[in-house]
Structure 1
């Protein structure tokens, strides 16, 4: 059960209505789930969705690499809604289903190329330790370039915000429960 619902259009402020209209008119074509919470602060919703639009559609990272990073992030936070949405997008972008299954199982996936390995290694290491050791950083910048590394860190930071928003407010639940992400040691507030 979600903790926050999308405000009814009649109950929205002019600022909330404007942000929703801008978002629907943009590349996404719809209001993304985290905006349900962010609309409580319309400028946060505006800036957050704009940043997400930039990081999803306007980087040097190919779509399958962006989706790989998002899946690593979604798995790190066990964000069911994020996982469900981006698993489908990752498959559409050409990610191997076995790679996705390995990430879901918290296993190191077999990756087909250096760019995928760099994205996975930087993402998983940064999320698990909060740092990127010199060898992984050097390989990442060699393969992705400095701009690609900055974009990758931006994607991870943004999707941490998204995952934490979705998890805190239980957005997209129960419809987006991803059985492959079940963590037996954690029971959400709605499951307790």
Structure 2
């Protein structure tokens, strides 16, 4: 699939689009890699979504490794080429084991050396598979991370599902992406 969006020229951006771009570029991301050039065609959506994304990526209360693991599970479930390509190196640098990431990417049942990794995986896959989280998994998450962080985990999974949908619908790829982690 090719990118379905018209080319975006920042020189011709509306004031609303410029405000969103400036906020993204001056924030912790510092780049437009991902869904942002899709959302920019609706600046109001872009502004709300990118602010939610900054929260979900950097302030959920989860360690970076666990956030990135949840993002990889989401990318694999949606076969989101760009999402995986952007977050895989971040996840690996944050400590997600190669074998765990590869099992998730290929849809095999992973083995876990870390109980927190297993809990994040069970929570995310339970939600994606059954559209619910079992009482036992929910209780383990609240016991381990607290209620607020568990609520934030749900938000993180929902946000990155929105990212995956955006990337997939518009055929977006990561900057400099040369290979696809999932079959088309």
Q: Same fold (TM over 0.5)?
A: yes
The question of whether the paired residues in 1 share the 8 Å contact of 2:123 and 2:137 is answered with yes
- TM-score (norm. length: structure 2): 0.93
For residues 6 and 61 of structure 1, the distance between their equivalents in structure 2, rounded to whole angstroms, comes to: 36
Deviation at 1:113, TM superposition (A): 2.0
* 2:124 aligned partner: 123
Matches within 5 A, 1:27-176: 27-172=28-173, 176=177
- Backbone CA RMSD of aligned residues: 1.7
For residues 92 and 174 of structure 1, the distance between their equivalents in structure 2, rounded to whole angstroms, comes to: 19
The question of whether the paired residues in 1 share the 8 Å contact of 2:85 and 2:181 is answered with no
1:49-108 CA distance string (max 9 Å, x none): 111111111121000000000000000000010011111110111110000011011122
For residues 46 and 20 of structure 2, the distance between their equivalents in structure 1, rounded to whole angstroms, comes to: 7
- TM-score (norm. length: structure 1): 0.89
What secondary structure does 1:121 align onto?
A: helix
Gaps of 5+ in 2: none
For residues 132 and 178 of structure 1, the distance between their equivalents in structure 2, rounded to whole angstroms, comes to: 34
Q: What count of residue pairs does the alignment treat as equivalent? A: 183
Deviation at 1:19, TM superposition (A): 0.8
What secondary structure does 2:30 align onto?
A: coil
Structure 1 pair 24/110, CA: closer, same or farther in 2 (3 Å)?
same
